[in-house]
Amino acid sequence: MTKDPEKHLRRELLEALIDYKYLLNRGYKSRGALNLVTSRYLLTREERMLLYRCIHSDNDVTSIREKTVSEVRGRHLIIDGYNVLLTVAAAIEGLTLYLCDDGIVRDLRSAKIRNFSTPSIMNAIKLVKDAVDELRPSNVTLFLDKSVSMSAEHSKMIRMRSPQWEVILASKADTEVIASRGVIASSDYVILMKAKEIYDLAGSIVLRKFSNQIIDLLGYLKRNLNNPKN
């Protein structure tokens, strides 16, 4: 069972969630809206990152949710490698994750990859491989950022576990993922906005195996935007 934000997040952050979404819906750019609510509620860096990664305008939420599919059987699955693996690794390491307003599960790691442990990545590879086997796509292409430390070793491990997958070390993995034809597995906002079809592979794994580490922002916003508190 996922966690209730009202029991795990401070009141000021919960109010900031509502205000930030309101400002985005009014047409404010994310940076300006973030600056306003950060100043108003004295948000920490992590709390600011939570808003940035997990809260979007209603238009963007609708766009992402309309492109999200529930299965990929018989389809070409395109995996944004480190995005998916690091989300699952975060759960393995016991970190908190969030069910965001667009229905996608995300963690709060920074944009740059720092010091993740090889065992957690290897375990994440196994969980992802097992989940994909159950989904039965027609074929799988997984992209890894070539610049990431140990990416060559990770690609070898993935190929060893799933020799039928195409594993590509790319200079610009995000660009390659977006340009590929198929259902895209990623939680990256820029990729999701440009994708034609989306499957939240990491989220499906985490919701099934680590739901007690997920804070349900989606449910909270549904309750409180429809019935705002005084």
Question: If we measure between CA atoms, which residue out of 117, 114, 110, 129 comes closest to residue 185?
Answer: 129
Parts of the chain with a pLDDT under 50:
111, 228-230
- DSSP letter at 230 equals -
In the beta sheet, which residues pair with residue 105? Answer: 99
Residues spanned by the domain of 79: 5-226
- Structural domain tally of the chain? 1
Whether residue 54 contacts residue 101, with contact meaning beta carbons closer than 8 Å, is answered with: yes
80 contact partners, CB below 8 Å, separation of at least 6: 143, 173, 174, 177, 184, 185, 186, 188, 191
CA angle in degrees (0–180, nearest 5) for 202-207-208: 105
Tokens 């990431």, residue located: 148
156 contact partners, CB below 8 Å, separation of at least 6: none
User: Mean of the per-residue pLDDT values for the chain?
Assistant: 93
> Any idea what the CATH number is for the domain that residue 188 is in?
3.40.50
Distance CA 78, CA 194 (A): 14
pLDDT tens for 34-84 read 999 999 999 999 999 999 999 999 999 999 999 999 999 999 999 999 999
Which pTM was predicted? 0.93
SS3 content of the chain, % helix, strand, coil (to 5): 55, 15, 30
